[in-house]
Structure 1
Amino acid sequence: MPENDHIARQAELVASELFSEFFWEKVGPTNHDWPCEDQQRHEVKTHPCDVVYYYDEPYSPLRTYVHCDLKSYAKGTIQQAAVKAAAESLAKQIACADRSDDWRRLHVHEHVTYSVCGLLFVYNHDGEYEANFQSNLLGIDPEKLQLPKGARLFVLGPKEIFWLDNIRSEVQRMRGKRVPDLPPPEYCSYFHPQLIRRANLQAEKAKAATLETLTSPIIILEHRDPRGGANRGVVVFYSRPGETSDEFMYLIDTLRKYELLDSRTSVVIKTLGASPISSPTFQKAQQQFIEGLAGADVYTDLGGYVDNIRYEPMTEIRSTYSTIDLGTWE
């Protein structure tokens, strides 16, 4: 296998390890081509498919199929033109997947109501990209993308992939301790709140983190007692810098609104690369939140739950793969 193929394989490995921890499942063949349904408009005879994942939606009886374009770029090759071309190509793929019997036969389960979305996964394999990746998206006009009505296209850049990969690593670390902080995966699920206008219709079935969850600043992993007890735990992965008390007070109030602060729930908040003063800032936020409930000298149940929240900055990891090692696997 040529070296460029080894480099491309790195994105596949990162995506596979990462998304499995968020309870996504692969379906159908990988790295294959399928016929274009609109050759005159798209100006191609076939479309590529790197991999398709699926998960069940929490707020509707739908299964989402994520058609992925996995890119592995060095620092110097992450440029606006390349990202724009990849996004435009992926949009055409989604447009065709939505109407293709061939794509459906390979990737969609029978007797399910489903939707197809696209994911452009831009992995920086040398770990040296530090520029603002979002600037590469400025040249993309959503109105000109050939997406069907209602279809969605997501982009994960190097920073987002780095953050999600650190969550994956932290979950595995917590689960692998001699006295585990997390139970096995079958007792875990990603939390989807009961919203006022969007009830969680598939609370038991929809365990996976959705793309909307993965691209939000708060990702919550809920776990229950394997012995069948009533207690539960939540791990709140928070991507913001944690520079002010107001920021953390808003986060605490969000947990309150989600009904995650009660007598049977243990809560730990984890951050990565946050402000050097984030720990004392969080402590101040706890104190200010509690004082705002009924005064500093008055105990309330909610105040006790807030006081019991733990704050733990994470240790940074960076996954790397050698092209030589990858070559030996073939």
Structure 2
Amino acid sequence: MSETVNVGEIAEKLSEEIFSSFFWNMKGKWNENFACHCPSHLGTNDKSKSEHPGDAIFHYEDPYLGSTIYLHTDLKAYKKNSIGKQKLRDAFKSLAITIECARDSESWRKVFSIPDSENYEVRGLLFVHNHDHGYEKPFYDLIGK
């Protein structure tokens, strides 16, 4: 996470309090990385990524699908002036390639202790926290297009 530890802890605390209301559980590991196995995933300087971050993993049993849904969560804590379309677009792109890799990653399953025999699906969740409480514009305007 690029946030400072204190800001990251605030985002983690908020996510625990909010998501427990949905009866989602959390895997016990925070801020873990897993190996990237997709050569098309590029990082800085167009070099292949070696790993992807995992800030938090929430999960719940989907009664309709009969499987566990894992929400690979990217926690972002931003000041008012740093929330913008490009920053969010970059965060969504990063999360998308992370989920693409996680869906069939042996490393992801091992790092987050997912049994081989479990029927599951990995989805992404971007959690944005405005830690200075100054952002008062419609958030959907940033992600609408």
Aligned position for 1:27: 27
Point out where structure 2 has 5 or more consecutive residues left out of the alignment. 43-48
2:67 corresponds to 1:62: yes
Distance across 1 between alignment mates of 2:80 and 2:99 = 28
Partners of 1:37 and 1:99 within 8 A in 2: no
What do the CA deviations read for 1:124-174 (whole angstroms, capped 9, x no partner)? 1122211121122145xxxxxxxxxxxxxxxxxxxxxxxxxxxxxxxxxxx
Aligned position for 2:41: 42
Aligned position for 2:78: 73
The alignment's C-alpha RMSD in Å is 1.6
Summarize the Cα distance change of 1:110–1:28 in structure 2 as closer, same or farther, 3 Å threshold: farther
1:259-298 paired onto structure 2 within 5 Å: none
What is the TM-score of this pair, normalised by structure 2? 0.86
Partners of 1:62 and 1:115 within 8 A in 2: yes
Count of equivalent residues: 136
Deviation, 1:8, is 2.1
Aligned position for 2:45: none
If each structure's helix is expressed as a fraction of its own residues, which one has the higher value? Answer: 1
Partners of 1:11 and 1:123 within 8 A in 2: yes
More RCO (CA 8 Å, sep 6+): 2
Q: Which letter does structure 2 place at the counterpart of 1:19?
A: F
Partners of 1:28 and 1:106 within 8 A in 2: no
What do the CA deviations read for 1:95-120 (whole angstroms, capped 9, x no partner)? 01011101112332453211010000
Aligned position for 1:125: 131
What is the TM-score of this pair, normalised by structure 1? 0.39
Deviation, 1:28, is 4.4
Aligned position for 2:18: 18
Partners of 2:74 and 2:126 within 8 A in 1: yes
What do the CA deviations read for 1:256-275 (whole angstroms, capped 9, x no partner)? xxxxxxxxxxxxxxxxxxxx
Aligned position for 1:134: 140
2:95 corresponds to 1:90: yes
Q: Which letter does structure 2 place at the counterpart of 1:128?
A: G
1:93-104 paired onto structure 2 within 5 Å: 93-104=98-109
Deviation, 1:34, is 1.2
Q: Which letter does structure 1 place at the counterpart of 2:29?
A: P
Alignment identity in percent?
37
Q: Which letter does structure 2 place at the counterpart of 1:123?
A: H
What do the CA deviations read for 1:186-207 (whole angstroms, capped 9, x no partner)? xxxxxxxxxxxxxxxxxxxxxx
Aligned position for 2:111: 106
Distance across 1 between alignment mates of 2:26 and 2:75 = 14
Distance across 1 between alignment mates of 2:123 and 2:97 = 11
Deviation, 1:25, is 0.8
Q: Helix, strand or coil for the counterpart of 1:42?
A: coil
Which has the larger Rg? Answer: 1
Q: Helix, strand or coil for the counterpart of 1:112?
A: coil
Distance across 2 between alignment mates of 1:135 and 1:18 = 23
Aligned position for 1:280: none
Q: Helix, strand or coil for the counterpart of 1:99?
A: coil
Distance across 2 between alignment mates of 1:42 and 1:73 = 25
Q: Which letter does structure 2 place at the counterpart of 1:65?
A: Y
4+ runs deviating over 3 angstroms? none
Q: Helix, strand or coil for the counterpart of 2:4?
A: helix
Distance across 1 between alignment mates of 2:94 and 2:116 = 27
Distance across 1 between alignment mates of 2:32 and 2:17 = 20
